[in-house]
Structures are given as C-alpha cells and as structure tokens.
C-alpha cells in the first residue's frame, strides 16, 4: 500500500503547507498527559480545556508559534525536607500543541478548579466571487 499525499490529487492546488502541518502535528509527541477536551462553543468559537491539577498559573506558559498553540507546564519540586511514605503525585512537565487554521485566534485563558480553559475564535469566512477576464491572444 502506498502513501498518498495531497500532491497526488491534481485538482487540489496550494495545499502543500497543509500537508506539512499535518506531518508536523503527527510528530509533536503529544502523549496522554495532561488529558484535554475540545468543545465547539458556537459556530465560530472553541474552547480547549486541560486538566492541570497541581499546577499554578505561574507554572503554565501559553504561546502561539507559527500557527501552533503550545501549552507548557513545569511544576517545581517542593519535596525538599519532606518524607513521603508514598509518592503517587509526581511533579512533572508537559507540552501540548494544537495546530491552528488560518483565521483562528487565541482569546483568553483562565484557570478554574484545576482546569485550564483556552478560548479560540475563528473569523467568519467571507464569500468571494471573482471574475477572471480572458485576454485575447
């Protein structure tokens, strides 16, 4: 079985960037931590919610890098001087990446009950009709 690329479809022009984005997304290494939800909150808005119990706002970093929303978390190890009989809650770091389509903007982020909410909006697409004149040769 051969791998099909978008270039294999001659009627789809200019989608090379999309193919690169899909390949990059597959390689981001997003593991299962932290778990997250993605909701569509209206026709043109979304909300990403990550379960980040144990993280404070200052432990989290949200950036947009080359059309990619990147959420990073790094907890500080405060176990110095403490004696644990069992340690099942580890201080760990994470990175979650989400590829953003053209026109999707990151709005506000808020923490609530151990959940990080990041709101996104998508610009309403404009309908464009263009008539192309044919030159006489």
The CATH number assigned to the domain holding 46 equals 2.60.40.790
Q: How far is residue 25's CA from residue 37's CA, in Å, rounded to a whole number?
A: 17
Q: Does 2 have pLDDT greater than 60?
A: no
How many domains does the structure of the chain reveal?
Answer: 1
Q: Are 104 and 45 in contact (CB under 8 A)?
A: no
What range does the domain containing 111 cover?
30-79+87-122
49-94 confidence digits (pLDDT tens): 999 998 999 999 999 998 899 999 998 777 788 898 998 877 789 9
- Calculate the average pLDDT of the chain: 86
What pTM did the predictor assign? 0.73
Q: Does 25 have pLDDT greater than 80?
A: no
43 domain-assigned: yes
10 domain-assigned: no
129 domain-assigned: no
């Amino acid at each position: 079985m051969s791998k099909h690329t978008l270039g294999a479809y001659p009627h789809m022009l200019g989608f090379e960037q999309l193919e690169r984005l899909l390949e990059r997304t597959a390689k981001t290494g997003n593991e299962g931590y932290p778990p997250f939800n993605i909701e569509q909150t209206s026709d043109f808005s979304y909300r990403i919610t990550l379960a980040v119990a144990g993280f404070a706002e200052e432990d989290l970093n949200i950036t947009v890098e080359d059309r990619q929303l990147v959420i990073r978390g790094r907890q500080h190890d405060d176990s110095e001087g403490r004696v644990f009989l069992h340690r099942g809650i580890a201080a760990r770091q994470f990175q979650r990446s989400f590829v953003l389509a053209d026109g999707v903007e990151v709005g506000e982020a808020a923490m609530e009950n151990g959940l990080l909410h990041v709101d996104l909006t998508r610009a309403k697409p404009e309908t464009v009709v263009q008539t192309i004149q044919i030159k006489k040769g």
